[in-house]
Amino acid sequence: MFRNTRLARAFVFATLLAFAASPALAQNSTTSSQSTAVSGQKLKVKGIVTRRDADTFTVQNDTGGTTTVALTDATSVKTKGGFFGGGTRYGATQILRGLRVEVEGRTDSSGQLVAEKVRFGDKDLRVAQSIEARVDPVETRVGTAENKIDTVEQNAQRMSGQLDELAAVSNAARGGAVAAMETAESAIQGVNATNERISALDDFTPQQSLNINFKHRSAVLTPEAKLQLDELAKVANATKGYMIEVSGYAFDWRNKNSNRRLSQQRADAVVRYLAENQRIPLRRIVNPFGYGSTAEPIADNTTREGRAENRRAEVRLLVNRGLTGSAPEMNESKISSATP
């Protein structure tokens, strides 16, 4: 009888341990990697954005683990704080590399976390914007330049082989010395031109600039503004190696924070129209930024006409000088004339 009682108590104790361990298992499931997450499982992750793509971004937590987060039209992107936890609403374009975020959502069948909420601090956003404004344009230009490296290397190899041939021709036929020298000079000019193109891969020149004006305290594009953006998009789609720079502004009114938010909303409105209506890839758009009323106005704020001009978003089409030029070519006719 006593032995059976002890066995019963041991069984009850083991059962209680199993129930006590179940919350820990559930907690571990929320921090496990996305490869083992079950579809539809609710997750919350915190960390730094280390990669940003068109519809997804990657978050790395403090222990080094990474999670791929997918964005949808229903994703809520806001800052933390404010009255009743409201915060400020932002577009998905403000999720930048280097931004510390908190993400809540559910996993899909591929293991990605489909974001329902994305939250971050105002200070963290300003730091990430400063980093992105300096790093992203350089990386974009380098990525575009890589597509041209193979052509440049092939031309360099071709030029090197022609120079070797010219040296042999010069030694074998004195009568072709003049033509060989001319061809060598042409080859040197081609090499110099190639070097200049490589040096110019980091040089962007403005090709077209326009001001998109808005109504008072509004960030909604007018029909006239949409026509302006349509014309800019046509020129961009017919141009190689282009980038689009968008800056938002507001005239000096109320307070700086209000003007800064309004100017950012105007810049985001331009980016959204170009991406959705003209299919301009986001990688072609330099990180949009709202300057508020801190920048120098282009007109007098004391007049109605001046304030109308200052309520604007500036859009500039930039073209890569190194990629738009033609690759240097060697003149083969001079080589053939120098060959005995």
> Of 17-21, 94-98, 273-277, which one has max mean pLDDT?
273-277
8 A C-beta contact, residue 29 and residue 102? no
For residue 223, how many other CB atoms are within 10 A of its CB? 7
Amino acid present at 286: V
Closest by Cα among 265, 153, 178, 274 to 225: 274
Of the two residues 304 and 70, the one the predictor is more confident about is: 70
Residue keyed to tokens 């009114």: 253
Residue keyed to tokens 């089409």: 317
Quote the pLDDT of residue 168: 76
Angle, helices 223-237/256-277, rounded to nearest 10 degrees = 60
Continuous segment of H or E residues that includes residue 124: helix 122-172
112-140: pLDDT as tens digits = 999 999 999 889 988 888 887 777 676 66
227-270: pLDDT as tens digits = 999 999 999 999 888 999 999 998 777 688 888 999 999 999 99
Give the whole-angstrom CA distance, residue 313 versus residue 266.
6
pTM for this entry: 0.39
On the CB side of 283, how many CA atoms lie within 13 Å of its CA?
13
E strand intervals along 145-272? 204-213, 242-248
Least confidently predicted of 26-40, 181-195, 228-242, 261-275: 26-40
Give the whole-angstrom CA distance, residue 316 versus residue 244.
6
Which two tokens mark 80? 């933390």
Residue 24: is its pLDDT beyond 60?
no
Give the whole-angstrom CA distance, residue 251 versus residue 293.
5
**In the predicted model, what is the mean pLDDT of residues 42-62?**
93
8 A C-beta contact, residue 248 and residue 212? no
Q: Identify the DSSP state of 89.
A: B
**In the predicted model, what is the mean pLDDT of residues 5-16?**
50
Quote the pLDDT of residue 221: 95
- Give the torsion through C-alpha atoms of 326, 329, 333, 338, to 10 deg: 150
Give the whole-angstrom CA distance, residue 308 versus residue 249.
11
Question: What burial class does residue 102 get, using C-beta atoms within 10 Å of its C-beta: 0-12 exposed, 13-18 middle, 19+ buried?
Answer: middle
Of the two residues 7 and 264, the one the predictor is more confident about is: 264
Residue 89: is its pLDDT beyond 70?
yes
99-113: pLDDT as tens digits = 999 999 999 988 899
Quote the pLDDT of residue 193: 57
The chain-wide mean pLDDT, for the chain, equals 78
Quote the pLDDT of residue 87: 83
Quote the pLDDT of residue 167: 74
β-bridge partners, 115: 105
Dihedral sign for Cα 232, 233, 238, 240, please: positive
Give the whole-angstrom CA distance, residue 324 versus residue 238.
12
